Structure 1
Amino acid sequence: MEDFENEVPQEVKLVVTEEMRSYFYDMSKWARFLSVVGFVVSAFLTLSSFGIGAAITANPAMLNQLGPLASIGATGITIFYLLLALLFFYPSLLLLRFSAKGKQGVLFGDQENLNDAIANAKSLFKFWGILTIVLLVSYFLLILAVAVSSVGIK
């Protein structure tokens, strides 16, 4: 049997083919498009947050038309929409960084920019993974709360 603990690993060199560079370049273009769309949505949500908050403050009767959001008031709605805007802004920023660094890395053969692009992609997937876990746990707790409250009603 070989002793794997004492064996020194050889440095592994990855080969980036022209086909892979082409794919990476295309990914960079789509990432830029999606980041711009995300920034526009984030800007609209930010503007809407202040517009809706101001409209409700000027006309409190509008609260009756908002349904479940009415209970948090004008300031709460403004904060809610600002949080949604931030939720769109951060991944859009990561996508923009991925796009810029990836494009530079592929076009000029710059390993450092390619590493930074992959790091931004990792951060983007980590963000969406954590957000997905938070939403799944929230849904589970909501279903659990509804089940417990329905048992208590009978």
Structure 2
Amino acid sequence: MEDFEKEVPQEVKLIVTEEMRSYFYDMSKWARFLSVVGFVVSAFLTLSSFGIGAAITANPSLLNQLGPLASTGAIGVTTFYLLLALLFFYQSLLLLRFSANGKQGILFGDQENLNDAIANLKSLFKFWGILTMVSVVSYFLLIIAVAVSVGLK
């Protein structure tokens, strides 16, 4: 990163063409759509988490139909769905902020809003990058655990 900063003279400015502005405006519209869908999914997951938890508490035989989540009980299932809802909510919030700030920045030539939009987009990619790394490491550890458990038998 340091080499990049040394090579680029400070007087070089980026030029945003009308075509780029059009792309950015379209991205903002799609980001708003995806954020609204994400908020709806988050709301359904939140409602479902409490509904499933209450149903399991009322009828414990439902745990047999949940598969691997059954061992966690009603509280575990509720917590799992609430965590999923939180993941959807956070990414939707970042998308909504990107959309609002990006549209404002492009329509009115507001550099600060455009900077905020890009910062939110960076945070969204960082979020997905960390989530992907955690998933890959989890799968890797799962494969090792299965291999060890099969080898012990």
1:43-95 Cα offsets, whole Å, 9 max, x none, are 00000000000011111111111121111000110000000001111010000
- 1:151 and 2:151 equivalent? yes
Q: What pairs with 1:72-111 in structure 2 (closer than 5 Å)?
A: 72-111=72-111
Partner residue in 1 for 2:56: 56
Superposition pairs of residues 3-152 of structure 1, within 5 angstroms: 9-152=9-152
Give the partner amino acid of 1:126: K
> Which runs of no fewer than 5 residues in structure 2 stay unpaired?
1-5
Kindly provide the CA deviation profile for residues 21-63 of structure 1, in whole angstroms up to 9, marking residues without a partner as x: 0000000000000000100000000000000000111111111
Aligned mates of 2:100, 2:10 — CA distance in 1: 32
Report which stretch shifted further, 61-70 or 77-86: 61-70
Instruction: Write the distance in 2 (CA, Å) between the matches of 1:9 and 1:133.
Output: 35
Structure 1 stretch displaced more, 59-68 or 121-130: 59-68
| Matching residue's letter, 1:42 | S
- Can you give the 5+ residue segments of structure 1 that lack an aligned partner in the other structure? 1-5
Aligned-partner residue type, residue 108 of structure 2: F
Between the aligned partners of 2:132 and 2:87, the Cα distance in structure 1 is 12
Return the alpha-carbon distance in structure 1 between the equivalents of residues 81 and 8 of structure 2: 54
Question: Which runs of at least 4 in structure 1 moved beyond 3 Å after TM superposition?
Answer: 6-10
- The one-letter code of the counterpart of 2:116 is D
Describe the SS at the equivalent of 2:107: helix
CA distance in 2, matches of 1:94, 1:8: 30
Q: Which has the larger radius of gyration?
A: 1
Distance in 1 (CA, whole Å) between partners of 2:53 and 2:72 is 11
Equivalent-residue separation in structure 2 for 1:21 and 1:125 (angstroms): 21
Query: Across the two proteins, how many residue pairs are aligned to each other?
Result: 148
Q: TM-score, normalised by structure 1?
A: 0.93
Cα-Cα RMSD: 1.5
Identical aligned pairs, as a percentage? Answer: 86
